[in-house]
């Protein structure tokens, strides 16, 4: 017999929904054990045997403990934003990332797309999964899609009805475009004074940058982030994910939730001007503080810290690790864990300020010692000594990591064309109103008839809209 521990949603497959049970699993593989409970897609989950991550074909012995960690999927719509209806007139990344965050927390998001083409990310491939853009799939779950031609009078009428029933309207057209289509913010407010109207752009709805085209790389450069990223003396480097888009979406989502809370007090909505450049400047944080304090213009520092030593990336025998020692105690523990007691006792390194001054002497000593150990050995030693350390993982390692699995940071949902789709999961957990993955990224116009019927169009009227090219 072995002990089987089912984490998260996998408990639904155990008798009575219990988390821990004794089963006849000795001599079987981890995968064979969990399959006896009818757990689907278990090949994507992580397995922990006696505290260590193992492959699905690991054979279990008598009295072993097997933990199965699932990818997150399923759930109810009773999230914190349940009952909030969002009209989503966004495309590409910043806007869809904003509405993804709202949708994951239970908001009803209606994605309005151009007939025939839809969100341009539908065509951003490769990579693709069964002909569906992986990019599109990654940021559009939990939404319903309808198509409306906003240049057609009847398409405009349908959008008016959506706005009248909405709590939130989000758009990412080039500044001025939505007004030219007949929906300036004054009209949106007149159609629904309680609606939160959020406009996301690169450089704002007015001012000198309103007409500038904005892509992530452009804004990372203009916002200062790229002037800080990379190795000293080398060319600027962008962050490895489109964070200018994503940060803009995050700040927009936060502002929307704040505005919804304010509406509870005032009874009316408001307009939000969210920008990509604003998000980048907000991220400058301590580097901006240095500039404002004494006029110093920070330059790229690589992976080192100007004020803390040791704090940076070290090459182990088979990979890289990050080590951070923010005080003297951590430095002493680091030295003892690496069998460098003489370094800990060296007066040149007794205080952080002295270690900063003697960086050129100390770092090579640490590099030589860490370079003679495997990455796993360095991490094991320093974690046992309670020294902040972590490996630099590629994505295959990230998504197999037990902590990542335990926190539900891999989301899965079944798509009618692409099949089982995986994406980064929801980064927070809430015990009262949990976020959830409920719906696949929609096919183009998949819910057009459904949504139009909900806002008062008859079947005959919907058929006419299709015939006339309005949807």
Backbone phi and psi for residue 408, each to the nearest 5 degrees, phi listed first: 70, 35
Q: How much is the average pLDDT of 106-131?
A: 96
Q: Above 70 in pLDDT, residue 42?
A: no
pLDDT value, residue 68 = 83
- The upper half-sphere exposure of residue 462, i.e. CA atoms within 13 Å in the direction of its Cβ, equals 16
pLDDT value, residue 77 = 66
Q: What is the DSSP letter of 442?
A: P
pLDDT value, residue 137 = 97
Q: How much is the average pLDDT of 48-73?
A: 83
Peptide bond between residue 126 and the one before it cis (omega within 30 degrees of 0): yes
pLDDT value, residue 39 = 78
How buried is 367 (Cβ within 10 angstroms: 0-12 exposed, 13-18 middle, 19+ buried)?
middle
pLDDT digits 0-9 by tens, 365-384: 999 999 999 999 999 999 99
Share of the chain above pLDDT 90, in %: 81
In the three-class reduction of DSSP (H, G, I as helix; E, B as strand; rest coil), residue 79 is classed as coil
Q: How much is the average pLDDT of 2-22?
A: 82
pLDDT value, residue 316 = 98
CB-based contacts of 419, cutoff 8 Å, min separation 6: 129, 130
**CB 38, CB 2: distance < 8 Å:** no
Q: Return contacts of 334-341, CB within 8 angstroms, 24+ apart.
A: 334/310, 334/382, 334/385, 334/387, 336/385, 337/381, 337/382, 337/384, 337/385, 337/387, 338/366, 338/369, 338/370, 338/373, 338/381, 338/382, 339/369, 340/365, 340/366, 340/369
Distance from the Cα of residue 456 to its chain's centroid: 36
Highest mean pLDDT among 15-24, 95-104, 226-235: 95-104
Q: What is the average pLDDT score of the chain?
A: 93
Q: Above 90 in pLDDT, residue 466?
A: yes
Q: How much is the average pLDDT of 407-416?
A: 88
Angle of helix 153-164 versus helix 459-468 axis, rounded to 10: 140
Q: Above 90 in pLDDT, residue 35?
A: no
Of 412, 384, 419, 284, nearest to 8 (Cα)?
A: 412
**CB 272, CB 198: distance < 8 Å:** yes
Q: How much is the average pLDDT of 82-107?
A: 97
Exposure letters 391-425 (e unless 16+ CB within 10 A, then b) = beeeeeeebbbbebbebbbbbbbebeebebbbbeb
Q: Which sequence positions are flagged as catalytic?
A: 245
Q: How much is the average pLDDT of 324-331?
A: 96
**CB 167, CB 201: distance < 8 Å:** no
Bigger pLDDT: 52 vs 336: 336
pLDDT value, residue 6 = 86
Q: Above 60 in pLDDT, residue 288?
A: yes
Highest mean pLDDT among 166-175, 299-308, 403-412: 166-175
Q: Above 80 in pLDDT, residue 125?
A: yes
Least confident segment among 55-59, 107-111, 451-455, 460-464: 55-59
Peptide bond between residue 127 and the one before it cis (omega within 30 degrees of 0): yes
Q: How much is the average pLDDT of 267-272?
A: 98
Q: What is the DSSP string of 258-279?
A: HHHHHHHHHS---EEEEEHHHH
Q: Above 90 in pLDDT, residue 93?
A: yes
pLDDT value, residue 9 = 66
pLDDT value, residue 10 = 76
Domains of the chain, start order: 2-69 (3.10.20.30), 85-283+441-468 (3.40.50.10540), 311-395 (3.30.1540.10)
Q: pLDDT band at residue 18, thresholds of 50, 70 and 90?
A: confident
Least confident segment among 30-44, 74-88, 261-275, 410-424: 30-44
| Extended beta strands in 194-293, E state | 196-201, 271-275
Q: What is the DSSP letter of 243?
A: H
Q: pLDDT band at residue 69, thresholds of 50, 70 and 90?
A: confident
Least confident segment among 216-230, 276-290, 395-409: 395-409
pLDDT value, residue 289 = 93
pLDDT digits 0-9 by tens, 57-66: 889 999 999 9
pLDDT digits 0-9 by tens, 127-170: 999 999 999 999 999 999 999 999 999 999 999 999 999 999 99
35: tokens are 């399959």
pTM of this prediction? 0.86
Q: How much is the average pLDDT of 259-265?
A: 98
């Amino acid at each position: 017999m072995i002990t089987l521990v089912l984490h998260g949603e996998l408990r639904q497959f155990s008798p009575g929904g219990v988390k821990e049970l004794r089963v006849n699993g000795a001599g079987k593989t981890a995968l064979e054990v969990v399959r006896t409970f009818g757990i689907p897609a278990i090949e994507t989950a992580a397995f922990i045997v006696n505290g260590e991550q193992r492959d699905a074909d690991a054979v279990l012995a008598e009295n072993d403990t097997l933990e199965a960690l699932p990818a997150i999927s399923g759930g109810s719509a009773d999230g914190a934003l349940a009952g909030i209806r969002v009209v989503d007139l966004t495309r590409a990344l910043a806007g869809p990332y904003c509405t993804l965050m709202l949708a994951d927390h239970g908001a009803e998001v209606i994605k309005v797309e151009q007939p025939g083409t839809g969100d341009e990310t539908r065509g951003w491939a490769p990579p693709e999964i069964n002909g569906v853009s992986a990019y599109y799939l990654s940021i559009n779950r939990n939404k319903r899609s309808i198509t409306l031609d906003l240049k057609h009078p009847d398409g405009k009428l349908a959008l008016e009805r959506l706005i009248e029933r909405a709590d939130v309207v989000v758009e990412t057209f080039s500044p001025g475009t939505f007004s030219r289509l007949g929906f300036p913010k004054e009209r949106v407010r007149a159609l629904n004074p309680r609606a939160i109207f959020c406009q996301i752009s690169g450089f704002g709805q007015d001012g000198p940058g309103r007409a500038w085209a904005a892509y992530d790389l452009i804004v990372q450069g203009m916002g200062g982030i790229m002037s800080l990223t990379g190795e000293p003396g080398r060319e600027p480097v962008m962050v490895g994910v489109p964070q200018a888009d994503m940060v803009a979406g995050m700040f927009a989502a936060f502002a929307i939730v704040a505005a919804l809370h304010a509406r509870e007090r005032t009874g009316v909505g408001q307009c939000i001007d969210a920008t990509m450049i604003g998000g980048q400047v907000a991220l400058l944080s301590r580097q901006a503080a240095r500039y404002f304090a004494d006029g110093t213009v920070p330059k790229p520092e690589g992976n080192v810290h100007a004020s803390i030593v040791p704090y940076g990336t070290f090459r182990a025998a088979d990979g890289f690790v990050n080590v951070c020692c923010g005080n003297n105690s951590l430095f002493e523990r680091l030295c003892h864990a690496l069998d460098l007691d003489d370094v800990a006792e060296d007066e040149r390194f007794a205080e952080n300020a002295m270690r900063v001054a003697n960086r050129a002497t100390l770092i090579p000593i640490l590099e030589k010692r860490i370079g003679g150990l495997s990455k796993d050995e360095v991490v094991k030693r320093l974690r046992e000594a309670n020294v902040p350390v972590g490996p630099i993982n590629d994505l295959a390692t990230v998504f197999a990591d037990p902590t990542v699995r335990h926190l539900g940071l891999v989301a899965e949902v079944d798509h009618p064309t692409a099949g089982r789709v995986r994406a980064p999961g929801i980064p927070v957990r809430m015990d009262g109103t949990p976020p959830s993955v409920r719906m696949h990224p929609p096919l183009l116009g998949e819910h057009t008839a459904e949504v139009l019927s909900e806002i008062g169009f008859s079947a005959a009227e919907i058929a006419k809209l299709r015939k006339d090219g309005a949807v």
